């Protein structure tokens, strides 16, 4: 499979919402107006393209100097397990390689742990850290 990673600079609801729907992230889908605002205010968004079709996205927020938070990483289910998520993360990590702290929050599943640990990321509990969330 051939795909290209590049900056995603022009939000298109018709490209983005089906991607979120495909992975079951309904909180975003049900608040489409807020999702556009979130994209507009993101530090960086990269997309994986198969020809002209967006098949994966990674979105980061933060200051780009001391902290980057990976807010979203998603790949169409039919394109998963083909290296796209890895390529998106690696492109983001390369861009922000001098940043002190890169974080993300995800579901605590074996699949997720294996994926992120394969990219040399550490679970917060292994660093004697904990996270707090207000939703």
For the segment 33-47, what is each residue's pLDDT rounded down to a tens digit? 899 999 999 999 999
Question: What are φ and ψ of residue 7, in 5° steps?
Answer: -60, 140
More confident position, 4 or 132: 4
pLDDT in tens, 76-98: 999 999 999 999 999 999 999 99
* pLDDT tops 70 at residue 1: no
pLDDT at 2: 84
Helices 84-95, 110-118: axis angle to 10 degrees equals: 50
Torsion angles phi and psi, residue 119, rounded to 5: -100, 15
* Residue extents of the structural domains in the chain: 4-103
For residues 71 and 32, the model is more confident at 71
Distance CA 54, CA 17 (A): 11
User: CATH number of 4-103: 3.40.630.30, 3.40.50.300, 3.30.70.600, 3.10.20.30?
Assistant: 3.40.630.30
Query: What's the pLDDT score for residue 97?
Result: 94
- Average pLDDT over the chain, rounded to whole? 92
> Is pLDDT above 80 for 128?
yes
Convert the pLDDT of each residue in 7-39 to its tens digit: 999 999 999 999 999 998 888 888 888 999 999
Nearest to 3 by CA among 74, 83, 117: 83
């Amino acid at each position: 499979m051939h795909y290209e990673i590049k900056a995603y600079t022009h939000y298109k609801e018709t490209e983005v919402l089906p991607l979120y729907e495909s992975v079951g992230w309904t909180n975003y889908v049900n608040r489409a107006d807020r999702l556009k605002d979130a994209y507009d205010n993101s530090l960086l968004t990269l997309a994986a393209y198969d020809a002209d079709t967006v098949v994966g996205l990674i979105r980061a927020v933060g200051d780009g100097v001391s902290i980057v938070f990976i807010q979203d990483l998603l790949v169409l289910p039919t394109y998963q397990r083909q290296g796209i998520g890895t390529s998106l993360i690696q492109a983001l990590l390369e861009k922000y390689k001098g940043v002190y702290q890169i974080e993300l929050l995800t579901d605590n599943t074996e699949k997720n742990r294996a994926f992120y640990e394969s990219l040399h990321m550490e679970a917060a509990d292994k660093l004697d850290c904990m996270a707090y969330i207000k939703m």
